[in-house]
Amino acid sequence: MSPALTKPMLRAAAAARREALTAAERAIASAFIARNVEAVLRETRPQSIGVYRAYDSEADTMGIMAAAEADGMRVALPAMVDPDLVHFRSYRSGDPLVPDALAILAPPDVTPVIDPELLIVPVTAFDRSGARLGKGRGVYDRAIAAARARGVRPPLVGIAFSVQESPAIPVEPHDIRLDWIVTETETLRFARGR
C-alpha cells in the first residue's frame, strides 16, 4: 500500500506539471480557459468579478479581465493588506498598480474595496470534487470565509490547466471547495448549497 499523498506533495507535483508546459502551450490553453470562463460569466451574470493577475506559470487571466470589462462588469484585483489579509480593489485596464504588502502589483490603497459577485480563484492543484490547493498560505480560504461571515457568498471559479488535476486532495475543515473548475478542456460544475 502506498502512503497517502500529502498536500505539499500534490501541490509540488501539480506545479511541476504546469511549469513543464511551454510558454506557447500555456498561452493557447489560457485563451481556451478565458473562453470557457466567459460562458460561466454569461450564465451567472455578475456585476463585478474578483480576478487575480497571473504569476509565473499560472494560467493568464488577462483575457478574462478583458471580457468582463467588455461586458460592463466591474473588475477587482486582490491587494494584500498584510501577509495574511487580502482585499479586492476596483481596477480598470491601464489603472496604476503599486507593490502591496507582499510586493505584488495591486491597486493602490486609495482604490475602493469591493465584494466581487463572482471570484476567480487561483489553483495549483484540483480534484473532481471541487477541492483545490493554492500556494499553501490559505489567503483565499480566509478571505472567502470572512466574506461569508459578512453574508457575501460569491460563486467561486477556479482556473487551471488540465495537467494540474490531481487525485483526491485531502480537505480540512477550513478548506473551501469551488463551485466551478475551468480548464482549457472542460468546465466542472459542483452543486453546492449556498
Rounded to an integer, the average pLDDT of 130-134 is: 94
State the pLDDT at residue 156.
Answer: 96
Query: What are residue 77's DSSP bridge partners?
Result: 89
pLDDT at 191 over 80: no
Q: Report pTM.
A: 0.92
> What is the mean predicted confidence (pLDDT) over 134-138?
82
Task: Tell me the pLDDT band of 139, cut-offs 50, 70 and 90.
Answer: confident
Percent of the chain with pLDDT over 90: 76
**Domains defined for the chain, CATH in brackets:** 7-189 (3.40.50.10420)
DSSP calls for 82-128: ETTEEEEEEE-TT---EE-TTS-EE--TTSPB---SEEEEE-SEE-T
**Rounded mean pLDDT, 106-117:** 94
In DSSP notation, 131-188 reads: -EE-SSS-HHHHHHHHHHHTT----EEEE--GGGB-SPPP--TT----SEEE-SS-EE
| Res. 4: pLDDT tops 90 | no
Residue 22: pLDDT above 60?
Answer: yes
